[in-house]
């Protein structure tokens, strides 16, 4: 079964500079230029985001300890019965595929207007990093003030760590977003070889991790695995396998799921797909392949159902709130836990009968609070610095590296570490400074 990869007649690109020659391509070809957002992909990203919020809310365990203090734990995770649920709740590969789909369209729009890759990177990094840096600084300062006012340092550190955990996604997403122009070039010149090389890297790293017993080696797959998922998004954007029959697509989906089942039955890989996230494994990559076939299967139906004006309006309202919800849902959850504790409201012990009985009201409360707060908090995302022109390569590379470092420092240390918060926001400020062009210094063309 071929993947329907075809050259684009009459069109050529001069590297990453964005120069385009020849006739324009149509949507669905290797150099399509999307003129509007894709409603199906926006809907998928929204559903994935809601799944992440639900998962994180369910993972929060907080109850009174024997000494009268507040005890925290990671509920659900590590329980054998939770593993099957993760086969549905683990949506991050699909999120990266959808992100790759949208990012390729965005880069091509920039490129076909004659834009430079550094302009695209600066725009993407700024849009992601500015709201993240503000959240990190604001939450870090609030935690520091709370500790100075008498909050237990251990509890503050735990809260800061839990709030910071979801930032792993942002650190990786900043990195792969900065590489979109280069990876798009590889996709357009050697698509199958690029995917195969990334897949080989994933397998090599994971096998080395298992054989050596050195878990740290596995974190090299933070690059290989998520770039692989992003490349799958590029393939989806370009219509790979669009001519396949439904039976063939179902066979591809079944093969990927069967591969996951086979690997987890062998032992070295966990059946818990959340565990396979940290570090990313071969199992997670097969899940990305399964998600790709699933998206290929459902996208035509989603395109039809989401073509109406009502759906378009709903998605147009929801999409700008995506990053806001991701950044702020855990701070809101922690505030809710703290408020309930301070008010003397019951916080049942995880997995008790009372805990299970209150999960639906708990989830509904979290969702209502997040949705209510998102419009006001989303104003942070509207902060825009003057559009950057073409940047020197070293400054663009420094911008991407500093942005990843800014988030990684806080991720590793937690938002309860004031020094890490200040270092992280300092790196973010330097990254943003790198994205600003000195007027007249660097020509756009």
Tens-digit pLDDT profile for residues 82-107: 888 889 889 999 999 999 999 999 99
146, part of any domain: yes
Confidence (pLDDT) at 387: 62
Mean residue pLDDT across the chain: 85
| 257 pLDDT more than 90 | yes
| 162 pLDDT more than 50 | yes
Contact 288, 225 (CB under 8 A): yes
223, part of any domain: no
Which residues are within 8 A (CB) of 355 and not within 5 positions of it... i.e. 6 or more apart? 75, 348, 349
289, part of any domain: no
Residue (of 46, 170, 38) closest to 104 by Cα position: 38
373, part of any domain: yes
| 442 pLDDT more than 60 | no
| CA separation for the pair 108, 119 (Å, rounded) | 12
Structure-token pair, residue 152 = 């237990």
Which secondary-structure segment (H or E) carries 64?
Answer: strand 60-64
- Give the three-class secondary structure for 74: strand
The dihedral built from the CA positions of residue 305, 309, 314 and 316, taken in this order, carries a sign that is positive
319: how many CB neighbours lie within 10 A of its CB? Answer: 18
| 2 pLDDT more than 50 | no
> Domain range for residue 408?
38-191+308-434
Contact 269, 276 (CB under 8 A): yes
Domain total of the chain: 1
> Measured in whole angstroms, how far is the alpha carbon of residue 430 from the centre of its chain?
23
366, part of any domain: yes
Burial classification of residue 205, based on how many CB atoms lie within 10 Å of its CB (0-12 exposed, 13-18 middle, 19 or more buried): buried
CA angle 191, 192, 197 (to 5 degrees): 100
297, part of any domain: no
Structure-token pair, residue 445 = 């063309």
Mean pLDDT of 24-51: 64
Contact 285, 228 (CB under 8 A): yes
Confidence (pLDDT) at 403: 93
Mean pLDDT of 408-414: 91
β-pairing, 60-64 vs 70-74, is antiparallel
Confidence (pLDDT) at 67: 73
| CA separation for the pair 136, 312 (Å, rounded) | 32
440, part of any domain: no
Which residues are within 8 A (CB) of 149 and not within 5 positions of it... i.e. 6 or more apart? none
Task: Please provide the distance, in angstroms rounded to a whole number, between the alpha carbons at the two ends of the chain.
Answer: 42
Residue (of 126, 107, 125, 110) closest to 383 by Cα position: 126
- Give the three-class secondary structure for 73: strand
Greater confidence (257 vs 17) lies with 257
320, part of any domain: yes
Which residues are within 8 A (CB) of 20 and not within 5 positions of it... i.e. 6 or more apart? 11, 12, 13, 31, 111, 112, 114
Contact 140, 419 (CB under 8 A): no
Burial classification of residue 269, based on how many CB atoms lie within 10 Å of its CB (0-12 exposed, 13-18 middle, 19 or more buried): buried
What is the pLDDT confidence band of residue 116, given thresholds at 50, 70 and 90? confident
What is the pLDDT confidence band of residue 383, given thresholds at 50, 70 and 90? confident
């Amino acid at each position: 079964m071929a993947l329907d990869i075809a050259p684009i007649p009459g069109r050529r690109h001069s590297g990453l500079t964005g120069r385009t020659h020849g006739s324009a391509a149509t949507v669905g070809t290797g150099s399509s230029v999307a003129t509007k957002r894709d409603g199906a992909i926006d809907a998928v990203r929204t559903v994935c985001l809601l799944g992440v919020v639900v998962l994180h809310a369910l993972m929060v365990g907080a109850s009174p300890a024997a000494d009268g203090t507040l005890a925290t734990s990671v509920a659900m995770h590590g329980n054998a019965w939770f593993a099957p649920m993760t086969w549905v709740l683990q949506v991050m590969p699909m999120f990266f595929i959808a992100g790759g789909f949208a990012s390729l369209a965005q880069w091509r729009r920039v490129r076909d207007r004659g834009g430079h890759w550094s302009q695209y990177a600066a725009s993407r990094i700024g849009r992601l990093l500015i709201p993240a840096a503000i959240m990190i600084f604001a939450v870090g300062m609030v935690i520091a003030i709370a500790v100075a006012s008498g909050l237990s340092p251990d509890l503050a550190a735990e809260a800061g760590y839990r709030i910071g955990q979801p930032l792993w996604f942002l650190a990786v997403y900043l990195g792969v977003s900065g590489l979109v122009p280069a990876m798009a070039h590889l996709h357009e010149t050697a698509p199958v070889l690029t995917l195969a090389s990334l897949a080989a890297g994933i397998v090599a790293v994971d096998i080395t991790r298992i054989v050596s017993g050195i878990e740290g080696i596995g974190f090299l797959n933070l690059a290989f695995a998520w770039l692989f998922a992003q490349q799958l998004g590029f393939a989806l954007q370009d219509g790979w396998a669009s001519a396949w029959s439904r039976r063939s697509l179902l066979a591809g989906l079944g093969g990927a799921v069967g591969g996951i089942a086979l690997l987890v039955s062998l032992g070295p890989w966990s059946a818990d797909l959340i565990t396979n996230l940290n570090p990313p494994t071969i199992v997670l990559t097969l899940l990305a392949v399964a998600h790709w076939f699933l998206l290929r299967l459902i996208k035509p139906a989603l395109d039809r159902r989401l073509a109406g004006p009502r759906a378009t309006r709903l998605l147009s309202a929801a999409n700008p709130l995506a990053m806001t919800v991701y950044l702020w849902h855990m701070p809101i959850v922690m505030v809710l836990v703290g408020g309930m504790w301070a008010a003397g409201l019951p916080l049942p012990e995880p997995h008790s009968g009372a805990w299970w009985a209150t999960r639906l009201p708990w989830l509904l409360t979290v969702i209502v609070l997040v949705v209510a707060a998102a419009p006001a908090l989303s104003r942070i995302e509207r902060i825009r610095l003057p559009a950057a022109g073409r940047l020197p390569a070293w400054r663009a590379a420094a911008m991407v590296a500093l942005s990843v470092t800014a988030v990684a420092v806080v991720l590793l240390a937690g938002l309860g570490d004031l020094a890490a918060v200040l270092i992280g926001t300092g790196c973010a400020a330097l990254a943003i400074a790198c994205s600003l062009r000195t007027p007249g210094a660097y020509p756009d063309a």
